[in-house]
Amino acid sequence: MIATILIHCPDQPGIIHSVTGFIHKRGGNVVYLDQHVEKEDRVFFMRLQADFRQDTWEEPSFREAFGKGPATTYAMEWRLYLEDRSRMALFVSKYNHCLYDLLSRYEAGELNATIPFILSNHPDCEPIARQFDIPYYCVPVTPESREKAEARQLELLREHQVDCIVLARYMQIIGPSLIAAYPNRILNIHHSFLPAFAGAKPYHAAFARGVKIIGATSHYVTEELDEGPIIAQDVTPVSHMHTVSDFIAKGRDLEKIVLARAVQLHLHRKTLVYNNKTVIFA
Amino acid sequence: MIATILIHCPDQPGIIHSVTGFIHKRGGNVVYLDQHVEKEDRVFFMRLQADFRQDTWEEPSFREAFGKGPATTYAMEWRLYLEDRSRMALFVSKYNHCLYDLLSRYEAGELNATIPFILSNHPDCEPIARQFDIPYYCVPVTPESREKAEARQLELLREHQVDCIVLARYMQIIGPSLIAAYPNRILNIHHSFLPAFAGAKPYHAAFARGVKIIGATSHYVTEELDEGPIIAQDVTPVSHMHTVSDFIAKGRDLEKIVLARAVQLHLHRKTLVYNNKTVIFA
Amino acid sequence: MIATILIHCPDQPGIIHSVTGFIHKRGGNVVYLDQHVEKEDRVFFMRLQADFRQDTWEEPSFREAFGKGPATTYAMEWRLYLEDRSRMALFVSKYNHCLYDLLSRYEAGELNATIPFILSNHPDCEPIARQFDIPYYCVPVTPESREKAEARQLELLREHQVDCIVLARYMQIIGPSLIAAYPNRILNIHHSFLPAFAGAKPYHAAFARGVKIIGATSHYVTEELDEGPIIAQDVTPVSHMHTVSDFIAKGRDLEKIVLARAVQLHLHRKTLVYNNKTVIFA
Amino acid sequence: MIATILIHCPDQPGIIHSVTGFIHKRGGNVVYLDQHVEKEDRVFFMRLQADFRQDTWEEPSFREAFGKGPATTYAMEWRLYLEDRSRMALFVSKYNHCLYDLLSRYEAGELNATIPFILSNHPDCEPIARQFDIPYYCVPVTPESREKAEARQLELLREHQVDCIVLARYMQIIGPSLIAAYPNRILNIHHSFLPAFAGAKPYHAAFARGVKIIGATSHYVTEELDEGPIIAQDVTPVSHMHTVSDFIAKGRDLEKIVLARAVQLHLHRKTLVYNNKTVIFA
């Protein structure tokens, strides 16, 4: 039984020793430990995986003891995950390259997740959902229906007990109630090298500026559009020979790779958000 | 005798045929030809190199005939270069990594240029200039002395018959009279992936935003700060583990590589500016 | 009507002028021209696209005149393509990531090709073929059945009038009769940065050697295993933290991107093979 | 007082807890900890930095106690470094780009090292040594003088109390007595993406093979030529347009960046060699 623990707390001497001792005493073997100290703010971050082999290990009592023990001593914010799969909803609009990419990884068993449904504001991707035998909900969004749509989205997310949401090129703004319900659990892919070219039509803007490299950025969604904590970025060279269409085509490959990378980091509990930035454990 | 010709003009059928025919007739052999059509604006760009073996070839008569011939027919803007070395001035402040890099390439004979002098607003780099036996002029710049400094700079540039200026981490704004005198011939290195983090302290801004990749950009200097035509860009990955100092250290390597690449492109006449963007020939 | 012409021939003065003149006279407008001279062997390469607007343009007479004209004068090897889609067969074994990637691009209309069938030596990928509604032929290969299998493959390729074959992680050796029938028209993806780690189990070999970067290579298939002309390569960083399984997972992303890039270059007639190397036009 | 400890030993539960406890008890605060478990061989690796603030901390007694304590309990191979600078000798032949790069970093204070001398088998780089005011020894190597040269090299290394050697494009084979005296402390830069193109003239071989990417590799020198543990690698794209000379010019930039990166990792005690591979701590 592998347990993954994510911790952050004010930095002080003895944290690692205390946590590893706690685990040791309960029969655990630390199989992974990565820590980081943000020196400016003196904050300590740790991701630790322990293998508990004893039949006697029980999650509830561990949680309670850890909470009263090291977590209290060091004023930790902490989370404990067992080997459970996340329930991950996909939101799309009309573009299907990120959707296809995630679904083929899903089908190949590469994702530690269950995809209970795909939601879209358009009917276009429904055949793909059918191809992969996943429920598809079309929830159109108009200026008038925005609130109603958001309520319907929340209802679906709750009904399907969704843990996290992946916006696989979903071209609508996510409502505040969703962001509040899924803090640092909504992953977006923005088709630029943020903070360059935030907002709409980044490839057109990149073309107009004459950049020699374009990028894609996956980040957690916050109330500030395209301003959330960055999880992953990547870039590809372009030249004067490329048209906006070429940028878009090259960008598709970037987008799917970067989004998939961020999704994997999230599903493996390798991300920790602090100060609108991410700590990405190795 | 290799002649390099750079052309841009409105696109229309027959330009390549006409130019290559013109060269052919004058005994030239085309050894390089790269062309590009900007489809939106219907502009034609070409870089061509021809080897004129005949003893009879003369630059002035070629210039005159080409000017009256194809250049007039197709309303070309064009430039002709022979194998002459550019006279390239280096401007620096206190950071010396780009300076060292360019000077060691210069010393190794990698640059098709002569460096008549190094100019700085500080005395710090003078020992390096001495190491490489190149004249060093210290022209301090204060808010009060700005105009006088600019005049002195222009005087030195003219006196030394400078063709182009490389700002190898020169931390002062270039005055409008220099920009006017050297249009698309002043190369700057900005320590970010433009247009992200234009202006001062880009590494600090990148750190604050929590990006996963940092970059450097070399561009021609125009009146709009950090808005000139981009010549070259490159990037390197960073993570939460890196401090601002790490960003700066990694950035140094990027800056020198990107600036050197841009300098080489410029010196080999491989850049053409149009619409505040560059065409970079292969 | 856009015609694409690929040429290679001994280098000599006047080729570009002659070809562009020939096209000009027949009412064509050159919309793309990229040329390259291999200096050591003095070989000239060119890719040219011309837009023939006149209703009077006819392919057969153009072919005949070009063949007797410039092609003869300059001893050219040349090919002419109109805007027709290639008929491209996919060969796979059990891994499906490249297959999924190509099929989703196909479905999204990104490939200038028709995929008449998928062939495999295993039944595993048949459901994917069904998902995308493409015929699937399972042709098992054993040491005994090798020749018969090859004959069946050839039969299918002819029957479906296939132009080119993509080995999307097909784990069998391609027989000499197929290679002879499809010279420089069989694209393979090898899961290493060739020539490093040719042969079987390259990720295991890369892991054993302790490299810090792994790669993937797409090349045309020749009689020498993994020795054909390289079309595209890309790499991704790895570290001591990665296991062989991590290499394989990272490699999957590389493989699909690199293979797709090579397929696009091939389909857009941007590759020319000479001396077991490729010229890749921009 | 920052102490850096590098450890590797058979993996078993409790190591981190034990070591951090040991440090804690002696008044140290762990400011950095990175660990890795090689799962196949069940080997544990750790790099740890502790800040010992107490005036009572003494290196010799710490060494003794650690040696008798955790190091014995867990059968560790371990090293302890204080904030001392390495004494690093540079070996060069005729190419000067890596030399210039390292010396300019040295001059700028970027290297945590002292460079007591530069050694070469040629006199060519002596003026550069003079520029930077560093002793230069010319020790020519011929088939006959090989042994004598090696003896002279060893003599110089001992006399100058050298800790590590950087082969900054030194084109001679390093003798077995030097390798024995400096195990995993001689850094080489090989101008290819190893294991591709080991041996002489890698750029020529890469050109002949028609690769689309070239690389450089820094590794520790072992008795097997170009087979030592890899520290750092990087690559850059090339195309059919590039000649061997272009490969060499592009390679120079790669070589200096990759070598400098490896040197920094070594000087910061971030490398650990095991099984002819490196663990590179973050």
User: Which chain C positions have a beta carbon within 8 Å of D230's beta carbon?
Assistant: 209-212
* Percent of chain D surpassing pLDDT 70: 100
Q: How many angstroms separate the CA of residue B17 from the nearest CA in chain C?
A: 5
Distances (CA, A) of A277 to A184, A264, B208: 11, 18, 8
Residues C253, A241: C-beta atoms closer than 8 Å:
no
Interface of B with C (CB under 8 A): 13-14, 16-17, 20-21, 24, 28-35, 37, 282
Q: Do D17 and A13 touch (CB under 8 A)?
A: no
Element (H, E) at D178: helix D176-181
What are B274's two structure tokens? 């149009």
> Which of C32, C101, C234 is the best residue to mutate to test the A interface, defined by the most A CB atoms within 10 Å of its own CB?
C101
pLDDT at A54: 65
Q: How far is D256 from chain B (nearest CA, A)?
A: 10
Q: What is the pLDDT of residue C55?
A: 76
Give the number of A-B residue pairs with CB atoms closer than 8 Å.
77
Nearest chain A Cα to B39, which residue?
A243
Residue D54 has pLDDT above 80, yes or no: no
Compute the average pLDDT of residues A60-83: 95
Q: Is C175 helix (H, G, I), strand (E, B) or coil?
A: coil
Distance from CA of B20 to the nearest CA of C (A): 5
Q: What is the mean pLDDT of residues D164-187?
A: 97
Q: CA-CA distance, A120 to A44, in Å (whole number)?
A: 40
Closest by Cα among C168, C247, C167 to C205 = C247
Q: How many CB pairs under 8 A join A and D?
A: 39
Looking at every residue in chain A, the average pLDDT score rounds to: 95
Q: Which residues of B touch D (CB under 8 A)?
A: 96-97, 100-101, 104-105, 107-108, 110, 131-132, 239, 241, 249, 252-253, 257, 260, 282
Residue pLDDT, tens place only, B22-65: 999 998 989 899 999 998 899 999 999 999 976 788 999 999 99
Report the chain B residue with the minimal C-alpha distance to residue A196: B196
Helix (H) or strand (E) holding B280: strand B277-280
Mean pLDDT of D16-33: 93
Cα–Cα dist C254/A238, whole Å: 19
A with C: how many residue pairs have Cβ under 8 Å apart?
Answer: 39
What does the pLDDT average to over D160-185?
97
User: Do the chains contact at A232 and B212, CB–CB below 8 Å?
Assistant: yes
Q: How far apart are CA D116 and CA C199, in angstroms?
A: 46
CA-to-CA dists, residue D252 to D60, D220, D256, angstroms: 44, 19, 6
The C-alpha atoms of residue C165 and residue A69 are separated, in whole angstroms, by 63
Give contacts of A241 with chain C, Cβ < 8 Å: 282
Nearest to D235 among C213, C232, C278 (CB): C213
Chain A residues with a Cβ under 8 Å from any Cβ in chain C: 96-97, 100-101, 104-105, 107-108, 110, 131-132, 239, 241, 249, 252-253, 257, 260, 282
Angle at D43 between CA D39 and CA D48, to 5 degrees: 115
- Note the pLDDT tens digit of each residue in B105-120: 999 999 999 999 999 9
The pLDDT tens digits of the residues spanning C224-239 come to 999 999 999 999 999 9
Angle of helix D244-267 versus helix B244-267 axis, rounded to 10? 170
- How far apart, in whole angstroms, are the C-alpha atoms of residue A271 and residue A164? 13
Contact list, C108 vs chain A (CB under 8 Å): 96-97, 100
pLDDT at B57 (0 to 100): 87
Distance from the Cα of B275 to chain C's closest Cα (Å) equals: 21
Identify all chain A residues contacting D52, using CB atoms and an 8 Å cutoff: none
State whether B16 and C14 contact (CB < 8 Å).
Answer: no
Radius of gyration, alpha carbons of chain C: 21
Please check whether residue A12 is in contact with residue A43, taking contact to mean a CB–CB distance below 8 angstroms.
no
pLDDT over 80 at A55, yes or no:
no
The residue annotated as part of the active site, out of D34, D51, D101, D226, is: D226
Residue C184 backbone zone (phi > 0: left; psi -120 to 50: alpha; other: beta): left
Cis peptide before D195 (omega within 30 of 0): yes
- Averaged confidence pLDDT in chain D: 95
Residues B153-162, mean pLDDT to the nearest whole number: 98
- Please list the alpha-helical segments (H only) found in chain A: 15-25, 59-68, 70-73, 97-107, 126-131, 146-159, 176-181, 202-209, 244-267
Residue carrying the six token digits 């709750």: A158
In this complex, the residue of C193, C233, C279 whose CB is nearest that of residue D240 is: C279
* Closest Cβ opposite residue D104 in set B97, B108, B260: B97
Indicate the DSSP class of residue A95.
-
List subunits contacting chain C, requiring 3 or more Cβ pairs under 8 Å: A, B, D
The set of residues, in sequence order, having a beta carbon less than 8 Å from that of D246 and lying 6+ positions away, is D238
pLDDT at residue D20 tops 90: yes
- Neighboring chain A residues of D282 at a CB cutoff of 8 Å: 282
Domains, chain A: 2-81 (3.30.70.260), 86-280 (3.40.50.170)
* Residue among D5, D20, D236 with most chain A CBs within 10 A, to mutate: D20
Which chain B residues are Cβ-neighbours of D127 within 8 angstroms?
none
C-alpha D32/C-alpha D23 separation (Å) is 12
- Distances in Å between the Cα of B192 and the Cα atoms of A196, A234, B35, B132, C125 are 11, 15, 30, 29, 46
Q: Enumerate the residues of chain D whose CB falls inside 8 A of the CB of residue A21.
A: 17, 21
Per-residue pLDDT of chain C (282 residues; tens, 9 = 90+): 899 999 999 999 899 999 999 999 998 989 899 999 998 899 999 999 999 976 788 999 999 999 999 999 999 999 999 978 999 999 999 999 999 999 999 999 999 999 999 999 999 999 999 999 999 999 999 999 999 999 999 999 999 999 999 999 999 999 999 999 999 999 999 999 999 999 999 999 999 999 999 999 999 999 999 999 999 999 999 999 999 999 999 999 999 999 999 999 999 999 999 999 999 998
Distance from the Cα of A52 to chain C's closest Cα (Å) equals 22
Q: Do residues A118 and A99 make contact, with C-beta atoms less than 8 angstroms apart?
A: yes
Q: Retrieve residue C237's tokens.
A: 């960083």
Give the pLDDT of residue D55.
76
pLDDT of residue D201: 96
Element (H, E) at D91: strand D86-92
Q: How far apart are CA A150 and CA A158, in angstroms?
A: 12
CB of C218 closer than 8 Å to CB of C231: yes
Catalytic residue of the set C34, C41, C226, C234: C226
Residues of chain B with C-beta less than 8 angstroms from the C-beta of D33: none
Mean pLDDT of A208-218: 98
> Are residues B195 and B206 in contact, defined by beta-carbon separation less than 8 angstroms?
no
ipTM of the prediction greater than 0.90, yes or no: yes
Q: Are strands A77-81 and A2-10 parallel, antiparallel or unpaired?
A: antiparallel
Q: Interior CA angle at A277 toward A272 and A279, to 5°?
A: 35
Cα–Cα dist B77/C48, whole Å:
24
Is it the case that residue D282 has pLDDT exceeding 70?
yes
Q: Is residue B99 over pLDDT 90?
A: yes
Q: Which residues of A are catalytic?
A: 226
pLDDT at site D49? 95
State the average pLDDT over residues B55-83: 93
- CA-nearest residue to C103 within chain A is A100
Q: How far apart are CA C38 and CA A187, in angstroms?
A: 49
Task: Using CB atoms, pick whichever of B107, B239, B257 lies closest to residue D253.
Answer: B257
Q: Do C211 and D229 touch (CB under 8 A)?
A: no
| Residue to test with chain C: of D41, D212, D238, most C Cβ within 10 A | D212
> Are residues B170 and B141 in contact, defined by beta-carbon separation less than 8 angstroms?
no
Q: What's the helix, strand, coil split of chain B in %, to 5?
A: 35, 30, 35
Chains that contact B by 3+ CB pairs under 8 Å?
Answer: A, C, D
How close does chain C come to B121, measured CA to CA in Å? 41
DSSP string of B223-275, one letter each residue: SSTT-SPEEEEEEEE--TT--HHHHHHHHHHHHHHHHHHHHHHHHTT-EEEET
| CB atoms inside a 10 Å sphere around CB C159 | 10
Nearest-CA distance from C100 to chain A in Å? 6
B270, pLDDT greater than 90: yes
Please identify which residue in the block is written with the tokens 């290493």.
C192
How far is residue C73's CA from residue C63's CA, in Å, rounded to a whole number?
15
pLDDT at residue B54 in the model: 64
pLDDT tens-digit profile of D106-144?
999 999 999 999 999 999 999 999 999 999 999 999 999
Q: Using CA atoms, how far apart are residues D194 and D202, in angstroms rounded to an integer?
A: 10
Question: Who among C38, C197, C210 is closest to D277 (CB)?
Answer: C210
Q: What is the pLDDT of residue C74?
A: 97
Distance from CA of A211 to the nearest CA of B (A): 6
Interchain proximity D30–A24, CB inside 8 Å: no
Contacts of C252 in chain A (CB under 8 A): 110
Query: D100–B108: do the CB atoms touch at under 8 Å?
Result: yes
To the nearest whole Å, the CA of B189 is away from the closest chain D CA by: 17
